[in-house]
Amino acid sequence: MKNNFRSGCAIASTLDIIGDKWSLLIVRDILLHHKITFKEFSSSEEQIAPSILSSRLKLLTSYGLITKQKQANNKKENIYLLTEKAIELSSILIDISIWGDKHLRKFNKINDIEGLDLERSSMISIVKKRYYSMIKNIKIVN
């Protein structure tokens, strides 16, 4: 894989992959909202353009954050699932949610986030358990 990183800094390298306007929202949609298809991502409130969505899905796949697969009951439509690498981003998503809820409510109508009153590690644990529970029910074509 070609090295497309700006520098050897871990923060800069991470931002090169997930620091754009859309990548973390795709991970959020899979992890928190259990969206797994292109159509479901397209219906998100932020209204990502199809060409950008396609390019971000390819980027996230190329760095091993998501996988592209087929369901046994619908072999025509691709589904996207998180890898363990991406599931580890749950702590970042929770931290961003907590920070945004605390500091941005006076500027924007922030949606209430279920479980925000819980302790951080409990929130992360619940998010992961719900995701693992969701993917147990998906039958993948091998």
Going by C-alpha positions, the residue among 37, 31, 54, 38 that lies closest to residue 127 is 31
Kindly report, residue by residue over 85-115, the tens digit of the pLDDT: 999 999 999 999 888 888 888 898 777 667 7
More confident of the two residues 39 and 75: 39
Q: pTM of this prediction? A: 0.90
CA gap 79, 68 in Å, rounded:
6
Hey, what are 58's tokens?
Answer: 């390819």
Q: Span 9-20, mean pLDDT?
A: 92
Contacts of 10 (CB under 8 A, 6+ apart): none
Domains of the chain, CATH where assigned:
10-136 (1.10.10.10)
Q: Span 48-74, mean pLDDT?
A: 94
**Residue 140 pLDDT exceeds 90:** no
